[in-house]
């Protein structure tokens, strides 16, 4: 079952929004006692009643507004997102290899690189799979849709900034919406990350199957 959901965006249009970064040296309780790391936590306050101070300057927030558990949750979620980025780059590498196979045929593995980006290579590979026998059986519509969303999430994870919304303690990734050409905020939690990582395994297998079938067809 392929269940990577469409990104959910927070509507902040026309509402005041406070953003700040607070940095500290943070002791990760899940690592060795002697290991500390420097963490920059992005905090956001949506719809503040008083977004400006008496001098007309945007109000600032600090780590004092977060509980210790919220700080830990931020660090752990950022770590999971970093893992997502690493896994997505592995898919990108395998996707480029599949794109070479589709684009250059028997010369595919001679080192010629396709010129398309991640999304472009994905589109070309999925178009080939969707329209070519016997590859059609490798990817049904739900899996192809998950691949589309996987690339969208990858771009947001890679180029976005994790923020914690206060006082609710919810997490969003600040990024540039390429369609609307403006800053957007995507909701993110551990469950979405887990589905993303499960989708990684499915896509990795798909790309492996494409290459195996190509090798069989061309041997």
For the chain, which residues score pLDDT lower than 50?
1, 34-35
Strand 36-46's sheet: what is its strand order?
Answer: 17-27, 36-46, 161-166, 170-177, 182-187
pLDDT of residue 35: 47
Which residues are 165's β-sheet partners?
44, 170
pLDDT in tens, 76-101: 999 999 999 999 999 999 998 888 88
């Amino acid at each position: 079952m392929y269940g990577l959901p469409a990104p959910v965006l927070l509507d902040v249009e026309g509402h005041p929004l406070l953003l700040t970064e607070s940095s500290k040296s943070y002791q990760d309780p899940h690592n060795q006692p002697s290991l500390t790391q420097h963490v920059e936590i992005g905090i956001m306050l949506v719809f503040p009643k008083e977004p400006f101070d008496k001098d007309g300057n945007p109000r600032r927030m600090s780590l004092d507004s977060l509980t210790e558990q919220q700080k830990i949750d931020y660090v752990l979620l950022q770590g999971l997102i970093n893992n997502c980025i690493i896994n997505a780059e592995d898919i990108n590498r395998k996707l480029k290899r599949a794109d070479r196979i589709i684009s250059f045929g028997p010369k595919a593995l001679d080192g010629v690189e396709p010129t398309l980006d991640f999304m472009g290579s994905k589109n070309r590979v999925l178009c080939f799979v969707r329209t070519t026998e016997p590859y059609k059986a490798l990817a049904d519509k739900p899996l192809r849709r998950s691949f589309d969303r996987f690339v969208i999430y990858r771009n947001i994870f890679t180029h976005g900034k994790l923020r914690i919304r206060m006082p609710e303690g919810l997490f969003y990734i600040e990024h540039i919406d390429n369609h609307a050409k403006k800053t957007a905020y995507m909701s993110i939690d551990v469950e979405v990350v887990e589905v993303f990582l499960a989708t990684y395994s499915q896509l990795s297998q798909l790309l492996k199957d494409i290459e195996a079938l190509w090798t069989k067809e061309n041997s």
